[in-house]
A and B are shown apart, each in its own frame.
Chain A
Amino acid sequence: MIKIKRESNIQEVAVTGIGIVSSIGFNTEDFFLNLCEGKEGTNLISGFDTSQYRRKIAAQILGPLPNKKWANYNRVNQMLLSAVEEALIDSGLNIESSSPISLSFGTMIGGVSELEDIVFNDKNFQLNNYVDKLKYYPINAPVDILANEFNLKGGLKSTVMTACASGTTALGVGFNWIRYKRADIVICGGYDIFRPLTHLGLSSLRIISPDKVRPFDLNRKGILIGEGAGVIILESVEHAMMRKAKTYTNVLGYGSSCDANDLAHPDGDGMQVSMEKAILESGLSLRDINYINAHGTGTLQNDLAEARAITKIFNKEGIFPYVSSIKGAIGHTIGAAGAIEAIATILSIYHSKIPPNLNVKQQDDNCKINLVKNKYIKKDIKAALSNSFGFGGNNASIIFGGLNE
């Protein structure tokens, strides 16, 4: 176990609002209900000519997005704004009278693919015909738009990218801002949309599944690209108590690490370090952690490495926390994954209900974890850990638990 000296002069952090746009629900209630009921948001790729694609399934959000008032913005902005609006309403925050609100988000693509789509569809493409689209091109533009739409001033504002760990990293950055007293309220999360080049790039690496995502199953065949936005409002416990806010749970610890050995082949050591850092920071014992929302992509390498890392930390102590990955339901939402999966973790604690790991016929014997197979289970959870790991060996883990009384 690694050693960290804990700083005592820090603020505790609560979760006071959540919002989501996903392929299995446009609000947190529908999302969690569908998640526990085993609904899959996967489907044939829509909106793009896939006649030459080797793999034709994804987890796109089909149909119109929930809120029309932001229809002038591109699709990723609409998803993000909808999720933020839900989270703000959920939190009961009054923007005018609260402390300055900071923003910390993660994404892999942002709105950069809008111009790609135009290039694919406009055979006479000239950049100067699309000047109005250019200001929405920078990867941080959605966060600027968000600040503008909700009139959020005075706080910090950041966009991070740590590949598929981006959403969790953004939560960690926001968590630290509050702990270190840079902010009282941070709207955090992640967002990404389905993009043909992401799908085709990963397909060329032979890690896109031909049909379903089967995390930790013996016959797992890879990922499906999903899309969505997950938004979590973090607030200092002091500020939340002062305004008598509803609190879902607290954030107890965050850890991140880098494999620092290979861009695309994890060995599990870095994953173990990020989990251990989060656990150590939380001050919890291993026995307090009842549930792990796994990164569980459904690829051979990730699932094996993650299961090994979990086993090394927990099993040797004779502890077997429940584990599930929700990627069988919503696919891999890339930069949004960490945030959406954190929401699933928070709601698991809040509703005492662990969502299932779908599509398991035969658990891989090499993944010796306590998998929640195919059906949800009821369970009071003291604390739960959510993992995200990405290309480049970027790892992030976050722990939720303990109600603010």
Chain B
Amino acid sequence: MNRVYVNSIGMVTPKGHSIMEIVNSLIFEKKMTSSEENYLIKDYSLEYKNLNFCANLGVNAADQVMIKHEINRDTQRNNFGTFVGTAYGGFTDTQYHQTSALINEGPLGVSPGLSIHSGFHLTGDIIAIKNKFEGPNITFTSGENSSGLAFMEAFDQIKYQNLEGAIVVGTEFIDKFISEGYKLINNQNVEILSSGAGSVFLSNQQNNLFNIEVVTIQFVSNFGKIGSYSSQTYKSISSAILKALKDSNINKQDIDIVISMLGPTPTEEIHFLKGMKMSLGKEFKKPVIYPKKILGDMLGANFIIGAIIGAEVLLSNKVMLAEIGDLKNVLIVSSDSFGNVVCTILQKGAEK
């Protein structure tokens, strides 16, 4: 079996497009005020402006990673895969245009170009083409766990020696339809949604910049109710954390920091805290970061954003403004309301 390492990270968010900008936002808790603020991300490359916004964001995030991460040109490209997670994949926007065209112009109005570009898988296709990655190219469309499942699949493929490396991307573009839909379902503006994308490069090789290993990733689904929180949500969170600790053989006292990709709403935070208390105990007092409070809810991209922030925290030894010594293990938890949870542990300083 291979060990799996993080080699490079990249992000495109409403709070900036460099790790430093985003960490500064977290440090100074520049909370956003409304979803609208986050629909349109500014000042990022429009090289891919012909793609839908979701793919555009995802490819931009992947570019950040690939600029930093050189792959030997002699390497067999079918040993590298592309794994993408997105809940809506920019589909709502193209669906709106195609539906309107059909209603207003009849069948001839349906665009061939948009038909090819409407698939959720467009982000992965473009990334694979751009980097000539001829290994698997899989897009996970599993709601808020999408990028978590993409990360897990890439991890397994590298761990079990099917691949040497993989790019993992989470991307989401929040348009007016998604925003309106969430407001209607929740009957109030409780969700602060945000467009954004994150990307990591995973590899069986350590590199000099990133001495970070992915020691485990676990998924638990104790299904509760469709579209609402139930006791199963926090039970799943607890089970996932315990599974991750068991699989990695890490004691709960050795977790230095927790990144919760729940938290913009009080309900989410309550479920997370309950789940954490059930698994790590009341006595667990290590810092917890809630990036969604600052960056917004990026749905399918949430997990990867958490993983990127986890990696950055390990590298910088900083939690918000405080330097808190040498951090070794970070626990990252992401969940949807139904009780589907992805949980990973990143570790710094792994021996080769």
Residue pair B102, A200 in contact (C-beta under 8 Å): yes
Interface residues of B in 185-210 (CB under 8 A from A): 185
Q: Does B116 contact A (CB under 8 A)?
A: yes
Partner pick for A54 among B99, B107, B153, CB 8 A cutoff:
B107
Closest approach, in angstroms, between the C-beta of B177 and any C-beta of chain A?
8
Stretch at the interface among A85-93, A185-193, A251-259: A251-259
Residue pair A260, B140 in contact (C-beta under 8 Å): no
Residues in chain B near residue A156, CB distance under 8 A: 219, 221
Residues in chain B near residue A256, CB distance under 8 A: 135-138
Residue pair A5, B153 in contact (C-beta under 8 Å): no
Interface residues of A in 197-224 (CB under 8 A from B): 197, 200-205
Residues in chain A near residue B87, CB distance under 8 A: 138-140
Q: Which of B180, B184, B338 has the most CB of A within 10 A?
A: B184
Closest chain A residue to B184, Cβ basis: A131
Residues in chain A near residue B185, CB distance under 8 A: 131, 134-135
Interface size on B, residues (CB 8 A): 72
Residue pair B180, A127 in contact (C-beta under 8 Å): yes
Stretch at the interface among B26-34, B125-133, B274-282, B305-313: B125-133
Interface residues of B in 63-121 (CB under 8 A from A): 76-78, 81-82, 87-89, 91, 95, 98-99, 102-103, 106-108, 110-112, 114-116, 118-121
Residue pair A139, B141 in contact (C-beta under 8 Å): yes
Interface size on A, residues (CB 8 A): 76
Closest chain B residue to A200, Cβ basis: B110
Residues in chain B near residue A162, CB distance under 8 A: 121, 137-139
Interface residues of A in 121-159 (CB under 8 A from B): 127-128, 131, 134-135, 137-141, 143-145, 147-148, 151-159
Partner pick for B98 among A161, A176, A197, A261, CB 8 A cutoff:
A197
Residue pair A144, B138 in contact (C-beta under 8 Å): no
Report how far A77 CA is from B183 CA in the complex, Å: 24
Q: Does A322 contact B (CB under 8 A)?
A: no
Can you show 11 pairs from A to B with CB atoms below 8 A apart? Answer: A53-B107, A127-B180, A144-B143, A161-B120, A201-B98, A204-B108, A258-B133, A260-B137, A391-B125, A392-B128, A393-B125
Interchain residue pairs A-B with the least CB separation, the first 3? A201-B115, A392-B125, A258-B137
User: What residues of chain A have their CB less than 8 Å away from a CB belonging to chain B?
Assistant: 2, 4-7, 9-10, 52-54, 102, 108, 110, 112, 116, 119-120, 127-128, 131, 134-135, 137-141, 143-145, 147-148, 151-163, 169, 173, 176, 179-180, 182, 196-197, 200-205, 256-264, 270, 273, 277, 390-394
Q: A116-B95, A148-B226 are in contact. List 11 more A-B contacts (CB 8 A).
A: A4-B162, A7-B160, A120-B103, A131-B185, A160-B139, A161-B119, A162-B139, A197-B115, A201-B114, A204-B108, A259-B134
